[in-house]
Amino acid sequence: MDTKRRQPLGIELVKRGIVTEEDVERALDYQKAEPKKKIGDILNILRAADPEVLIQAMGEILDEKAILLKESDLKVNMLDYLSLDIAKQYKAIPFEEANGRIKVCFADTSNRRAVETVRLLLLNKGLIMEKYITFETNIDLILNSFENTSGDIQVGADASSFIDSVIKRAMDKRASDIHFEPMQDGLRVRYRIDGWLINAANVTKEKQAQIVGRLKAISNMHQEKQESQDGRIIMYPDYNIRVSSQRNIYGEKFVLRLLKKNEDVKSIFDLGFTGTEKLLKDAFNKKNSITVIAAPTGEGKTTTLYSIIDFLNKPEVNITTIEDPVEIRIAGLNQIEVDPKTTFADSLRTVLRQDPDIILVGEIRDQETAEIAMQAGQTGHYVLSTIHTMDAIEVITRLRKMGVSNYDISSTLATSVSQRLVRRLCPHCAKEREFTQEEKEIIKSIGEKYNVSFDMEGKKTFDAVGCSKCNNTGYYGRIGIFEIVMFNDAIRSLIVNNEPSITIREVALENGYKPLVIDGIQKVLDGTTNLQEINNKLALY
């Protein structure tokens, strides 16, 4: 970005109160190791200010239009206007066209050759260019998603070959889901990797019908029906692929969930659980009780359940699971898959006649399932399940709203666990640095709020930079952050007396309960993740 003004960009940003002098000094130190990077981009990498605020301030200083460009801002297919090589060479991305004008984002508008070359290329297409600036990291992230996928995906191939290449590429890149999304002017394909969506391919509108037809054929769906359908793809031997279709205003959208067969169950400690084995034994495997794993959708509840079941799995124990669907097959377990004609409640009634010791119920969705699960827990069984709610304390509120009595909750609920999945820093490109004063204050205030003393002596943090191994995101894989509530007499008394969750939370904190943020901060101090990622999940600041 252009910094040739009467005053250096860093000084102008300090004058406006966007960053501090200390931030600029850190950026200059960073620049010594990375001399090709501009100060504005470095300040963004160092998270010296809110990215939106920073880019807009830079635009005002440089007298340029500015945008914090993201993949969701791309209203056109970039490759229809510039080749990938040209876009990479000049760090330029066309992102919106209207009325003969096209908006193009540059990483460096002071590069007159780049700006003029792109302007002339677009003028030859009959378009007048309107230039914007953004951070180079944002440009690289978007270009990398095109480069990393389009090279292996046969965009020009027939529908069968195209879908096959999309699926195989998704498997190679550790994607959990594939989205085929009809847009106004084409079909967009995206992968969900480590919880985030990245662009995989863009296809012309003319090919949409063929791709939709092929997806329905291999998913065993009705070709003529355009309302919502569910199907499965079984042609890949190492994967079960669940398919969901739903019509939107531009056609039928498909989401493919990739479930790897015969995947090893991870230890709960490998998932990020920081307690001891003694805590694990105390918290789980209690007869005459129920344990609930609580979190929003997509936060790894089922994976945690599997790890607990694997921990409890012994030859002398009869374990039965009721799942929708069975995601991992575990030797020694009786695993039941719910089908459209049966519910969790129906299956649970039958299982109770099968002499189980431990029962896993994939999800408590309604009052009927909740009450049968509670009854099972009161009659000598140990029940594990999941529930959709925000934290371990709110499990009580959710069960109450389902119609479960306070008596049943207090007498049966033994342990509740909540969790979130945060991205691990990529070990290949993470850049170590000192904590800023602001970050130290955030950590200190959280510790004071929950009466926890964090040891920050000699601790450093890491910035997510991005490289080819992590899809240029700076993160590779995910890890859980956990909180756990073990229900004692004090908490049970509050439940029976219908006390609100805020009162129960206060008593739980007095009895050793530590909320999710505490485990999150500890993993920041351990160098596993960073504050930005914890903030993405828990909104710390």
CATH number, span 277-421+478-517: 3.40.50.300
- 3-class SS at 260? strand
* Average confidence (pLDDT) over 245-250: 94
In terms of CATH architecture, what is 9-139? Answer: 2-Layer Sandwich (3.30)
pTM of the model: 0.69
Q: Specify the pLDDT at position 156.
A: 61
* Average confidence (pLDDT) over 265-279: 87
How would residue 2 be classed by pLDDT, with cut points 50, 70 and 90?
Answer: very low
Per-range mean pLDDT, top range of 308-312, 349-353, 376-380, 402-406 = 402-406
**Strand partners for 417:** 293, 484
141-157 per-position pLDDT tens digit: 888 766 554 445 656 66
Average pLDDT value over all residues in the chain: 89
184-203 per-position pLDDT tens digit: 888 999 999 999 888 888 88
The CA distance from 534 to 272, in Å, is 14
29-43 per-position pLDDT tens digit: 888 878 888 999 999
Residue 445 reports pLDDT greater than 70: yes
Tell me which long-range contacts 352-357 makes (C-beta under 8 A, separation of at least 24): 352/376, 352/379, 352/381, 354/318, 354/320, 355/318, 356/318, 356/319, 356/320, 356/381, 357/317, 357/318, 357/319, 357/381, 357/382
299-351 per-position pLDDT tens digit: 999 899 999 998 888 889 999 999 887 878 888 899 998 887 888 888 999 99
Whole-number percent of the chain with pLDDT over 90: 61
Residue 395 reports pLDDT greater than 90: yes
Whole-number percent of the chain with pLDDT over 70: 96
Q: Specify the pLDDT at position 321.
A: 93
Domain map of the chain by residue range?
9-139, 151-260, 277-421+478-517
Per-range mean pLDDT, top range of 183-187, 277-281, 420-424 = 420-424
Q: Specify the pLDDT at position 157.
A: 64
206-241 per-position pLDDT tens digit: 999 999 999 999 999 998 888 899 999 999 988 989
Class (C level, CATH) for 151-260: alpha beta
Per-residue 3-state assignment (H helix, E strand, C coil) for 197-209: EEEEEEEEHHHHH
Q: Specify the pLDDT at position 147.
A: 56
Q: Specify the pLDDT at position 5.
A: 43
Burial class (CB in 10 A: 0-12, 13-18, 19+), 11: middle
Q: Specify the pLDDT at position 34.
A: 81
